[in-house]
Amino acid sequence: MSHEKIILGAGCFWGVQAAFELLSAVKKTRVGYCGGVTENPNYEEVCSKTTGHFEVVEIDFDPNEITLQKILDLFFKIHNPTQTNGQANDIGPQYLSVIFSNKNQRQEILDYINQISSAYKSPIATKVLDPEKFYTAEEYHQDYLKKNPMGYCHINLPRVKEFLEISGYRLK
């Protein structure tokens, strides 16, 4: 079984993880921090906006079951990639739209963004960056919305599930 990884940031990592956990082709997700200068950052440090890290989700998926384009379709569906100061009510640099991709994924991602950009009134602000060290977030953040079903989420998960079903994604 082959696996591929991608690291995505689209605001608070709780909802991003919950959205990708709906997909059967996604084998594992972990929320964490990536892109900053602080070694082994914790949540409070990242929220201080001084570490340079983004809140992200590391997604391990089977490319034989789902294409990178389908992963990107979901990623761009669940957030506003034109927002330059965070996502929804989550404001700050740790909540920016970001993709950490390997060099094999890079051109496909850039082509995809170029292809969809005309659908938006404002320029896509999503950063596409080289892979950085991924730091796993504290355990209480992992699968947060499963543990706390009434927890805050900037993503409308029922709407996401409906989109996935209509679009023919295989769900867990």
Catalytic residue numbers? Answer: 12
How far apart are alpha carbons 17 and 145 in whole angstroms?
Answer: 9
Three-class SS string for the chain? CCCEEEEEEECCHHHHHHHHCCECCEEEEEEEEECCCCCCCCHHHHHCCCCCCEEEEEEEECCCCCCHHHHHHHHHHCCCCCCCCEECCEECHHHCEEEECCHHHHHHHHHHHHHHHHHCCCCCCCEEECCCCEEECCHHHCCHHHHCCCCCCCCCHHHHHHHHHHCCCCEC
